Amino acid sequence: MKLDLGPELEAFRRELGDWIEDNRIDGLEDVDERAVYLGTFEQSGPVAAAYRQWSERLGQARLICPQWPEEVGGRGLSGAHMAVLNEEFSRRRVPRVSRGMGESLVGPSIIVHGSEAQKAHFLPRIISGEDRYCQGFSEPDHGSDLAGVETSGVVDGEEIVLTGQKVWTSGAHLANMIFVLCRSDPNVPKHQGLSYVLAPIRDNGVDIRPLRQPTGRSGFSQEYLDGCRAPLLNVIGGLGNGWRVAMTTLGNERGGGATTQHLRYERELWDLVDEARKRGGTDDPLVRQDLAWAYSHVEIMRFQGLRLLSALAAKREPGPEASVNKLFWSEYQQRFGEIAMGVLGADAMLGVGPEYGLGRWQSTFVSSRAVTIFSGTSEIQRNIIGERALGLPREPG
Ligand SMILES: Cc1cc2nc3c(=O)[nH]c(=O)nc-3n(C[C@H](O)[C@H](O)[C@H](O)COP(=O)(O)OP(=O)(O)OC[C@H]3O[C@@H](n4cnc5c(N)ncnc54)[C@H](O)[C@@H]3O)c2cc1C
């Protein structure tokens, strides 16, 4: 099915496609943007050099954080334009060069809630890649119950001083900045006493301890903040306004990329089909059934994406789709990991390479266990859908 997006978006697609072809740099076809973001991308050598050159070209054309408004360095692209852009980059196999959480979570929250001074200071540093953020929301006793966070933020002159413990902080080992939800006023109802602070994470009273995951990698860490300081300029939305800012962040986290995320799953699925073919698995009716299940679910994601895209093109705000989307893709990914193990059969139990590490599909399976937990667990998404979309009675407090 092809959606008619209208002449403006089709013209944008053509113009962008021409730009990519005029500026493309060879050798980047297999770069996985997630590897760059997760720090597993090789930082030296010809591919890394080509990636840097490509990033510069995108920067000059304002194609890094292009969804941000023009006055803060973006191009002001709408959700529909961004869907077209993501599709073109993926189809033409060039990396999009994302600024990770800075681009998708912190920037949008500053744009909505930040002062002019905050926008002028923080946003250009995200676009240039100078600031790389990690998310300091969860604590050992406060994950789903985010509004209960206990890390304190005490004002000391022109600074705020953070003390407490954060955990499950993805990419902390690669970041130089952390966005922290802290309790700046313990004497008011819990949602009103929070502040959203951008704090330097290096040499600033933060002890970062990596946590080892079942994949063998340490993609996230726990941090002990002991007198971590940040200027009051770094309190986005002002003291006591942290919950509102955090809700903007979470809305972006759960709904982001819904229009084009099927592209990634589509590629992964066809790679698994190739793996099954190599192993003769496509003759097995159970494997065929599983692959057909995955195919139909990727197609559903594609149609959901198109539905959202047409809503965006018609300038309608998406509603509770963010939670439906998070629930659907995460539960799909978990089942897909199990299907991949079925395709490998007994080989799934064997270590790979001289160090008996995990192969691609084993990593897909193991890492997929986390996806129904982060960005709000499946139970929390179901609560949101039940209460806010379907209007069911609220769960007892
Ligand atoms: C891979 C990974 C990366 C992460 N990255 C980050 C990060 O970068 N930054 C960050 O701040 N956090 C991060 N997290 C943490 C994540 O946000 C929390 O794990 C998540 O919010 C759940 O919180 P919790 O682990 O404390 O579990 P809990 O909140 O204790 O939940 C335990 C169980 O109870 C259920 N539950 C809780 N409340 C309810 C309710 N009201 N109704 C029904 N069921 C409920 C949950 O669904 C879950 O099954 C990451 C987590 C993972 C796994």
Which CATH number characterizes residue 146's domain? 2.40.110.10
200 and 87 part of one domain: no
> Mean of the per-residue pLDDT values for the chain?
91
16 and 91 part of one domain: yes
Say if 252 falls within a structural domain: no
Say if 271 falls within a structural domain: yes
Q: What is the mean pLDDT of residues 63-77?
A: 95
221 and 318 part of one domain: no
**Nearest CA owner, ligand 1 atom 44:** 379
**Nearest CA owner, ligand 1 atom 29:** 144
Burial 91-118 (b: 16+ CB within 10 A, else e): eeebbbbbbbbbbbbbbbbbbebbeeeb
- Residue by residue, DSSP assigns 60-121 as HTT-SSTTS-GGGTS----HHHHHHHHHHHHHTT------HHIIIIIHHHHHHH--HHHHHH
Res 3 pLDDT > 70: no
Q: What is the mean pLDDT of residues 222-247?
A: 97
Res 1 pLDDT > 60: no
353 Cβ neighbours under 8 A, 6+ residues apart = none
Res 71 pLDDT > 80: yes
Tokens read off for 135:
């998310």
Q: Is the CB of 168 under 6 A from ligand 1?
A: yes
211 and 262 part of one domain: no
Say if 371 falls within a structural domain: yes
218 and 292 part of one domain: no
Say if 249 falls within a structural domain: no
CA of 373 to the centre of ligand 1 (A): 5
Say if 207 falls within a structural domain: yes
> What amino acid positions are annotated as catalytic residues?
253
Q: What is the pLDDT of residue 325?
A: 85
> pTM value?
0.89
Q: What is the pLDDT of residue 216?
A: 79
370 and 268 part of one domain: yes
How many other CB atoms sit within 10 Å of the CB of residue 259?
27
Q: Is the CB of 151 under 6 A from ligand 1?
A: no
Tell me the pLDDT band of 354, cut-offs 50, 70 and 90: confident
Q: What is the pLDDT of residue 63?
A: 97
Q: Which of 25, 121, 123, 12 is nearest to 72 (CA)?
A: 123
Range of the domain at 282: 257-389
Which of 242, 267, 293 is the C-terminal boundary of a domain? 242
141 and 233 part of one domain: yes
Q: Give tens-digit pLDDT for 241-288.
A: 999 999 988 877 766 567 777 888 998 999 999 999 999 999 999 999
Lowest mean pLDDT among 239-248, 333-342, 350-359, 384-393: 350-359
Question: Which amino acid is it at 344?
Answer: L
Q: Is the CB of 169 under 6 A from ligand 1?
A: yes
Res 186 pLDDT > 70: yes
Domain of residue 284, CATH code: 1.20.140.10
Counting residues of the chain whose pLDDT is more than 70, the rounded percentage is: 94
69 and 155 part of one domain: no
Q: Which of 254, 367, 373, 384 has the most ligand 1 atoms within 8 A of CB, as the residue to mutate? A: 373
Which of 217, 242, 267 is the C-terminal boundary of a domain? 242
Res 77 pLDDT > 70: yes
**Nearest CA owner, ligand 1 atom 38:** 144
Higher-scoring residue by pLDDT: 78, 116 = 116
169 and 287 part of one domain: no
157 Cβ neighbours under 8 A, 6+ residues apart = none
Domain of residue 72, CATH code: 1.10.540
Number of structural domains the chain divides into: 3
263 and 371 part of one domain: yes
Res 12 pLDDT > 80: yes
Say if 394 falls within a structural domain: no
Query: Cα–Cα distance between 165 and 180 in angstroms, integer?
Result: 11
Say if 2 falls within a structural domain: no
Q: What is the pLDDT of residue 256?
A: 58
Q: What is the pLDDT of residue 316?
A: 64
Q: What is the mean pLDDT of residues 183-193?
A: 97
Q: What is the pLDDT of residue 314?
A: 67
74 and 137 part of one domain: no
290 and 371 part of one domain: yes
Q: Is the CB of 135 under 6 A from ligand 1?
A: yes
Query: Cα–Cα distance between 8 and 1 in angstroms, integer?
Result: 20
Say if 80 falls within a structural domain: yes
Counting residues of the chain whose pLDDT is more than 90, the rounded percentage is: 72
